[in-house]
Chain A
Amino acid sequence: QQPVQSPQAVILREGEDAVINCSSSKALYSVHWYRQKHGEAPVFLMILLKGGEQKGHDKISASFNEKKQQSSLYLTASQLSYSGTYFCGTGGSQGNLIFGKGTKLSVKP
């Protein structure tokens, strides 16, 4: 089942923080985060695994709550370059992911 992302959209000023949430009705073993800029392909940000292991971006952090079946992406001191649509993906052990509908982030000067 498709994970649910919130909020659908957020507008920030440079330097402000944002949190993007991803929830699933199914048990999660991993959560994958990607960012897509307008007209471009998605780009990998992070993977969070059950058990706490994670791999990813050095300026973006995330959490993974297995009991709540939820992940949150934390964007701190946002920069103009953070603008884009953020997608979380959940699912299979072979990278066969189901993605959420995305959260559109706009960072203004």
Chain B
Amino acid sequence: NAGVTQTPKFRILKIGQSMTLQCTQDMNHNYMYWYRQDPGMGLKLIYYSVGAGITDKGEVPNGYNVSRSTTEDFPLRLELAAPSQTSVYFCASGETSGIFYNEQFFGPGTRLTVL
């Protein structure tokens, strides 16, 4: 199993450009998450999904959009990139064996710089 894969690994955007960060998991997990991590800081949840066709906002959703058409894929779309979106983006998928009981597996991350 490859686990959670993310592409690209690095990207530099100009202000106002748009891009899609790709995330794919091969563990058949229903739960998927997008986080951002600024230097020296913790993880902030952007969006999450509990299954195909279902998404919900996290702590910091502004400036981002997501979709979940399949169990495997959970792309994150940045519209009109701003310097404040410079960060490392992690995708994660989760399995659960009960309510609140959710172990998350993280992808390697995408390092995004907006200039």
Contact = CB atoms under 8 A, between A and B. Distances in A.
Interface residues of A, number: 26
A96 B101 contact: no
Contacts of A100: 42
User: Per DSSP, are chain B's interface residues mostly helix, strand or loop, or mixed?
Assistant: strand
A32 B42 CA distance: 14
Interface residues on B, range: 20 to 34
Contacts, number: 63
Interface string A1-15: 010000000000000
Interface in A51-109: 55, 87, 89, 93-102
A95 B96 contact: yes
A41 B101 CA distance: 20
A44 B103 contact: yes
A97 B103 CA distance: 11
A30 B101 contact: yes
Interface of B: 31, 33, 41-45, 48, 50, 56, 58-59, 90, 94, 96, 99-109
